[in-house]
Amino acid sequence: MSYPDGLLGDDENVVVHKHPHWKMLLGPVLVLFVVVGGASYLAALVATTDWRLPVWSALGVVGLLLIVWFTLAPLLRWRTTHFVITTHRLMVREGVFTRSGIDIPMWRINSVRCRRGLVDRLFGCGTLVVESASDEPLEFDDIPQVEQVQTLLYGEVGDGAQHRPQEG
């Protein structure tokens, strides 16, 4: 799963490229099962009535809209969210139609820490907190294997000191 090389500098390499943890898709999958199950149950209830065709059509339209809004949209958001650590910077890109992102040069990162609750520990993910020269720390939720990512990012921050711009 490589990151597009066109977005990297000449001597820049990808160290880590991750999507958010799959646990964020549990809710949308549950919605999918509830919508399909509920629509199937309602369709079976009206199967013997004279007005079953209009009801089935309405159930199909409403079910499709619910599935698109509550299942496919979160799946697309998950798939188009990238957490990338390179040898020079930390990049986060997200969005389907409107893309947004943030780049933090390694030399601007002051500290890196992670936070993992009970559910996060069960799933093997957590929140990565990056403090940089900006006012507020940045929190990145649902990072898979967050402790390994923290260690790799900390190592790159130490190595990134050599890429610090020279004042002068």
pLDDT of residue 96: 86
Rg (CA), the chain: 22
User: 30-39: string of b/e by CB count within 10 Å (b at 16+)?
Assistant: ebbeebeeeb
Dihedral of CA atoms 21, 24, 25, 30 in degrees, nearest 10, equals: 140
User: What pLDDT score does 97 carry?
Assistant: 87
What pLDDT shows up at residue 3?
A: 60
pLDDT digit string (tens) for 45-102? 999 889 889 999 999 999 999 999 999 999 999 999 999 999 999 999 998 888 898 9
Residue percentage of the chain with pLDDT more than 90:
63
Q: What is the pLDDT of residue 158?
A: 78
CB 156 within 8 A of CB 103: no
Q: What percent of the chain has pLDDT over 70?
A: 90
pLDDT (0 to 100) of residue 126: 95
The pTM score is 0.80
**Does residue 167 have a pLDDT over 60?**
no
pLDDT tens-digit map of 110-126:
899 999 999 999 999 99
Q: How far apart are CA 81 and CA 16, in angstroms?
A: 14
Given a cut of 50, whether residue 168 has pLDDT beyond it is: no
